[in-house]
Structure 1
Amino acid sequence: MTLLPQKIADVIGIDSVFVDIFAAIIGAGLVGTLILIQSALAGPWAKRKITAAFTDRISVNKFGPLGVGIIIPDAVRLISKELIVPEGVDRPAWDIAPIILASSALLGFAVIPMGSLGPVNFQLADPEVGLVFVFAVASIASIALVMAGYASNNKYSFLGGLRAVAQNLAYEIPLIVVGISVVLFSGSLRTSEIVAAQQETLFELGPLAIPSWFAILNPFAFFLFLVANMAEVGRNPFDIPEAPTEIVAGHQTEYSSVYFVLLYLGEFVHIFLGGAIVATVFLGGPAGPVLPGLVWFLIKIWAMFLLTQWLRSAVPRVRIDQLIEIGWKGLLVLAFFNLFLTAGLVGVFAA
């Protein structure tokens, strides 16, 4: 498998360290642009259309086909607003937090196998500890939420930051424990090998071949991972760090203009990263019939985005004490039970 930077370097045809660096930058720019386009569609447009459909209302429909042109005036409106800096903020941390939130989620896509489109394979790197890398960079987002909450000099923002810490501690551990059960199945932390382990046919139903996706092999682990991932990306019923009806907007209360855009963008990029992790670990990555792998990958992450918006419209927010109790007393126990059960099954079949 040729990674995207290697493909670009081969096209240039010059063997040089500087060419390799240039190719890596170009590849990262292509992948980043692709993800940012998805987030731009999701935030100003798809979120409104999906929520309107669930609540039987009319959403944006005047500017461009199906109202998709609303992205342009929304971006201009938000970026052109005055950047208001409240008194008493911890300026360095307050400035850096939005950048960390947006960039940390983008960084996670570096090792995600997004599939191919023609001769081009959209994967930047494939380290041996790829899955660990994804979990590590995804968790950086919680640091950004804490920085934003603490530095804003606002009690609602501070509460949002504290809630973010409590929520991520309660749900990142079950998320990783469930991820370990997948590693037991695949025998590797390398994301490409996790995807490759799901390519075999599990069984056939006439002309239909059922793939050996881990979501099919272990639906219990898939469900646990979905719940923990929903809390990780901070969507309903787990949007506790911002909770508009309780603490105004939590960590983002004091942000405006381009800083608010970065926070808003980071939120949706993080949702798509969560969908990418779910697709890679449980849904065969970019695998699928007929269509190119990249198309299937995008379909799967958009399906996860649709799930977040469905829950946002259908499920009420839980209280902070309920959220912590669900994580520590429920999800963590079930995650370890799933790990021991998976280890036992793998041991039996390996023997």
Structure 2
Amino acid sequence: MGALETFLVSILAAALVGTFLLTLVAVSGIWGKRKITAAFTDRIAVNRIGPFGLLIIVADAVRLLSKELIIPDGADRPAYDIAPIIMVASALLGFAVIPMGSGVQLADPEAGLVYVFAVSSVASVGLVTAGYASNNKFSFLGGLRAVAQNIAYEIPLVLTAASVVIFAGTLQMSEIVAAQTETLVTLGGLDIPTWYAFVNPFAFVLFMAANLAEVGRNPFDVPEAPTEIVAGWQTEYSSVYFVLCYLSEFIHIFLGGAIVATLFLGGPAGPVLPGFVWFLIKMLAVYIFTQWARSAVPRVRIDQLIEIGWKGMLVLSFANLLLTAIIVGVIA
């Protein structure tokens, strides 16, 4: 295959993966979110617009996109315009190195794990840009909170992922998945795989908690706390810009789920069903967990959030990394 053919195939594959992700976000973010939250809180969700309320997806899309795009007075227009695009792009680019099973992986660089954390962290730039450029004190406060939160929890997130790298001996995403295909132990004729959630459940719990903070779900939804700062950094966004902000939030949630599935749950590995189906199930399971947290866990104060990150999660993640290195060193 020539260079032009390779380029065209790559563009087509990226477009298909992007379309699938956007469709998944549309279903889960607009319809699924309401249904899951209603189930957790014993309420009735959308059920009148189309079968099972599914046409709420179309109704919400038309409603939001048809609204007037209001630009606040004194906004820093170039920064205001580009912030939502930065946030969406950072999440979509992260999926480029995720092995989704059935041969679906756009790229597999040797430093794939470094890449996915690097591009996803660019969202912090979009958050603070949106808050600053809106010329709104509540938005600016939300942007500052978002940056403080992301810095406090990205370090524990990366350190916990580094403990997986010590076990796998590689930063390549496909190799991390391959390292989890062996059998850890056999119980009653059932083979338990070497998923790192089983090998190191402490690291799995740490990563899930830090991931909740990174995607802004309870108890860490302080940057958008509606009862305190209206809607935080996205207060002044409307119409298509609000759609992009909302879209970026849910794509980041699914990216977090994809990383969790890859690092701790064997990626697309699983019996009977195709690998892509198993990957989707695991990613959706993490998504449902975040929605449960949103419904059931109360929000912490901003000072408590920072204290948990710097005095709790950071210390625990360093301890986990050190113990993992010792254990692997002794076994090796």
The interval holding the TM-score normalised by the smaller chain is over 0.9
Corresponding residue to 1:145 among 110, 127, 130: 127
Corresponding residue to 2:79 among 84, 88, 93: 93
Render the CA deviation track for 1:211-238: whole Å, top value 9, x for unaligned: 1000000000001001111101111111
* Ranges in structure 1 where 5+ consecutive residues have no aligned partner: 1-14
Q: Which amino acid aligns with 1:176?
A: V
Render the CA deviation track for 1:86-136: whole Å, top value 9, x for unaligned: 1000000000001111111010000000001xxxx1100000000000000
Q: Which amino acid aligns with 1:65?
A: P
Give the aligned partner of residue 205 of structure 1: 187
CA distance in 2, matches of 1:189, 1:93: 34
The normalised TM-score by structure 1 is 0.94
Identity of aligned residues (%): 72
Matches within 5 A, 1:38-187: 38-116=24-102, 121-187=103-169
Give the aligned partner of residue 217 of structure 2: 235
Cα offset for 1:67?
A: 1.1
- Stretches of 4+ moved more than 2 A in 1? none
Give the aligned partner of residue 259 of structure 2: 277
Counterpart secondary structure, 2:90: helix
CA distance in 1, matches of 2:199, 2:50: 43
Cα offset for 1:69?
A: 1.7
Cα offset for 1:16?
A: 2.1
RMSD: 0.7
* Ranges in structure 2 where 5+ consecutive residues have no aligned partner: none
CA distance in 2, matches of 1:194, 1:123: 14
Cα offset for 1:148?
A: 0.2
1:315 is aligned to 2:297: yes
Give the aligned partner of residue 23 of structure 2: 37
Counterpart secondary structure, 2:222: coil
CA distance in 2, matches of 1:109, 1:75: 24
Counterpart secondary structure, 2:224: coil
1:218 is aligned to 2:218: no
Q: Which amino acid aligns with 2:164?
A: V
Give the aligned partner of residue 4 of structure 1: none
Counterpart secondary structure, 1:204: strand
CA distance in 1, matches of 2:207, 2:38: 28
Counterpart secondary structure, 1:241: helix
Q: Which amino acid aligns with 1:36?
A: L
Corresponding residue to 1:253 among 235, 243, 261: 235
Cα offset for 1:290?
A: 0.6
Q: When the two structures are aligned, how many residues end up with a matched partner? A: 332
Cα offset for 1:20?
A: 1.2
Q: Which amino acid aligns with 1:198?
A: Q
CA distance in 2, matches of 1:103, 1:298: 21
CA distance in 1, matches of 2:51, 2:249: 25
